[in-house]
Structure 1
C-alpha cells in the first residue's frame, strides 16, 4: 500500500479541491465528451465560417467545470427535455460580423474599449446559439450511439440552474478571438453522464448459472506415499528396477501445496481412488 504524502500548506493551496457533487459519477470520462464536442464545433466553423469567409476559426482550448457565479449575460434555450445556455464574447461576435460585412478582422480589444452593442449583434448571437446548441446536443447523443431528433431550440425567458459549463477558447489563425461558453442543466448533465457510463470497458462476462459446487473448480493433489532411499540405492537404479512399496491407508490431499483433506485410499475396478474425506487439522 502506498504511503500517504504530507505536503506543505503552500503546495496544498494549489491542489484542486474535491467536489462532493462529482463523487460516484464518471467525470473521468468527460474527455471523451470534449473530443466529440470539438469535432462538432470544428465542423460547424468550417462549414459556416471558414469556407464561406476564408477565415481560420479553430479551437485553441476547451475546458469544462462546475459553473460558478458570474455577471455574464447568458442565453438559455429549451431543446427537447434539456435546457442549454450559451454566451459568446463580444470580441468573437464582432470578428464574425467583420467577415460577414467584408471588413478586415480587427485585433482583439478589451470589452471596455468596444463600441455599444447593436441590434445586429443581438440577432447574430441568437442565430449562432440556435445553430450551435443542436451541435452540443448531437455531441451528447453520439456518446450513446443515438441520433437526436429534429428539434428547434426555443428561447427561454428565464435562466435555469446550470449544472455544468464548458469554455471554448477560439482563435482566428494565430490571433485569439474570445471564448464561447456553454452550459447544461441537470437533465442534460445526467444524460451526458449516463452515456459516458456506457463507454466504460465491459467487465468479465458472467459465467453460466449453476450451483456453487458446479462453479467452484479446484485442482486436488493427493500424496499416496513417500519413499526415502539412500543416495547409493538411487544411483543403482536402472530402467525396469522395481521398488517394493506399501500404500498407506490414508493419503494427504492438498490444494496448491496446502493440506486440505485426508482421505482413505481404496481400489475400485483396478484403479486407485480416494474416499472418506476428512478436513485436515
Structure 2
C-alpha cells in the first residue's frame, strides 16, 4: 500500500490518546486520598454498619470506597444537600439499600432474601418514596457525614474514632450535585438479603481544602526527617546554630539635637566598620559591601 494512501490521523483522535492534566490538583497530595478513603471505610464499617447489623441482625458491609473527579453525569437518584462547619456535601443512597433497611426495620428481611435467592420470583416495582424512607435516608446521611468530618482531621494511624455527634450537620433538602466537586463513592451490600447499592458523597472546596491540609503534614514530616538525618551526619561545629547580628550604624546625639529633629531633617552619617555580634557579644568587625542589590559582610577581623 503506498504511503500516500494511508489516511492521516485526525487531530481529535491524536488528542484523545493523551491524558489530560487537571490543574486543580497540582501541588496537592491527591495520591494520599486513597489512604483516607480506607480510613473512612473502616470507620463506616465499625461505627455505622455494625450498629445497624446488631440492631436488625443484618450483614451490611461498606466496600470499594474511592475518590473521583470529573464532569461525568451524576448518578441517577435522589440527592440531598447537607451543610456543616467543615463545608457542604451532597448525599445519595441507592434506593435498594434504603428499602432493604426499611425491610429490616419492619421485620421483612426473610421475604427479601427469598426473592433474591429465587430467580423465578416476580420483580416488584418499588412504590413512591414514603416519608419514612425520606427520614431514614436523611438520618443515614447525617451519620455518614458526621463520621467523614471526624476523619478530616485524623491522619491514618491515629487513635480509634468514637461515634460522631450529629448536631452540626444540617439537611438543606433535595439538590442537584455540583459536577465540579470531588466525589466519594462506595458500595453497600447485605449478604443476608442480597440487597446492594451505592452510597455517594460530593465534597465542596472548603471540605477538600481541610482534608488536603490533614494529608499534607505526612509529606512535610518525611522531608524534615530526611533533612534531620543528613544534618546529623555533619560535624558538630557545623550543626551548632548561632545567631549573628550586624550593627550597621551607631550615632550619638545630644538630647537637645534629638528634640529639635523635624520631619524631613537629614542626619549626616558615614558607614564605616560594622560590629558583628554573636549573642550580644562583639567578636568581629566587618566591611559592608553590595552585591547584586544585596548588602553583604566581608573582610572579617577579630574585635579588640
Q: TM-score range with shorter-chain normalisation?
A: 0.5 to 0.7
- 1:128 Cα deviation (Å)? 0.9
Partner residue in 1 for 2:170: 154
- 1:103 is displaced (CA, Å) by 0.4
Find 1:99's aligned residue among 85, 101, 104: 104
Asked whether the equivalents of residues 82 and 171 of structure 2 are also in contact (C-alpha less than 8 Å), the reply is yes
1:154-193 matched pairs, under 5 angstroms: 154-156=170-172, 161=178, 163-173=181-191, 175=194, 177-193=196-212
Q: Between Structure 1 and Structure 2, whose CA radius of gyration is higher?
A: 1
- Aligned residue-pair number: 202
2:126 & 2:47 partners in 1: Cα distance? 26
- Cα distance in 2, alignment partners of residues 53 and 16 from structure 1: 47
| Residue of structure 2 equivalent to 1:27 | 30
CA distance in 2, matches of 1:65, 1:54: 33
CA distance in 1, matches of 2:13, 2:124: 35
Preserved CA contact (<8 Å) 1:53 1:99: yes
Change (3 A) 1:103 1:13: farther
Q: What displacement does 1:135 show?
A: 0.6
Secondary structure at 1:156 match in 2: strand
Distance in 2 separating the partners of 1:118 and 1:150:
23
SS at match of 1:55: coil
Is the 2:90–2:203 Cα contact (8 Å) retained in structure 1? yes
Q: 1:14 to 1:55 in 2, by over 3 A?
A: farther
The answer to which structure has the higher helix fraction is: 2
Q: What is the RMSD computed on CA atoms of the aligned residues? A: 3.5
1:118 paired to 2:118: no
Aligned to 1:80: 85
Checking the alignment, whether the CA contact within 8 Å between 2:79 and 2:90 is kept in structure 1 is yes
Q: Kindly state the Cα deviation for residue 15 of structure 1 after the two structures are TM-superposed.
A: 7.3
Q: Specify whether residues 46 and 123 from structure 1 end up closer, same or farther in structure 2 by C-alpha distance, changes over 3 A only.
A: closer
- Aligned equivalents of 1:58, 1:11: Cα separation in 2: 43
CA change 1:150–1:118 in 2 (3 A) is closer
CA deviation after TM superposition for structure 1 residue 57, in Å = 0.8
Check 1:72–1:142 CA distance in 2 against 1; reply closer, same or farther (3 A cut): same
Q: Where does structure 1 lack aligned partners over 5 or more consecutive residues?
A: 1-8, 212-281
> Aligned equivalents of 1:132 and 1:122: distance in 2?
16
Q: Structure 1's 54 and 150: CA in aligned 2 closer, same or farther, altered over 3 A? A: closer
Distance 1:48 1:16 in 2: 43
Out of 218, 230, 233, the position equivalent to 1:199 is: 218
C-alpha deviation, 1:141, in angstroms: 1.8
